[in-house]
Amino acid sequence: QEQLVESGGGLVQAGGSLRLSCAASGRTFRTYAMAWFRQAPGKEREFVGGISWSGRTYYADSVKGRFAISRDNAENTLVLQMNSLKREDTALYYCAADHLRPYTGDVPVNANGYSYWGQGTQVTVSS
């Protein structure tokens, strides 16, 4: 059974850093785009950043320059390094993976572009 499991969330002070990981199992996603989304209370789920199968990265303007996405295809793992965290980064962070469009350079920014989702990991940034 395909599964994505996020880890690494927690409570951090503003200006601090966190590293989120997403472990995939049940199948390999190395030829597909993967991404991170987040959802704050009362808000819609939003695209944080994504990475194509070839390693090209895309970021939301709100996190550009502060967050970095990487993937380890051998380990079937996706990583989100978050630096200079702000209170507005507080949200439940989700890992997502596509499985319909292999070997494309595109990274969907809409949630409906992804077929697999993790359960989420909470990130809370305090002032």
- What are the tokens at 94? 């989700």
pLDDT of 65 reads 98
Q: Which is nearest to 95 in space by CA: 65, 75, 71?
A: 71
pLDDT per position as a tens digit, 15-44: 999 999 999 988 889 999 999 999 999 999
CB 48 within 8 A of CB 36: yes
For the chain, give the mean pLDDT. Answer: 95
Whether the predicted pLDDT of 104 surpasses 90: no
| pLDDT-based confidence at residue 74 (cuts at 50, 70, 90) | confident
CA–CA separation, 80 vs 47, rounded Å?
13
Q: Are strands 10-13 and 121-126 parallel, antiparallel or unpaired?
A: parallel
Stretch 52-69: mean pLDDT = 97
Using CA atoms, how far residue 119 sits from 12, 36, 65, in Å, is: 21, 12, 26
Closest to 50 (Cα-Cα) out of 113, 100, 102, 2: 113
- DSSP run (H or E) holding 47: strand 46-51
Please give the pLDDT value at position 38. Answer: 98
Instruction: Mean pLDDT check: name the lowest of 16-20, 49-53, 73-77, 122-126.
Output: 73-77
Higher-pLDDT residue of 28 and 120 is 120
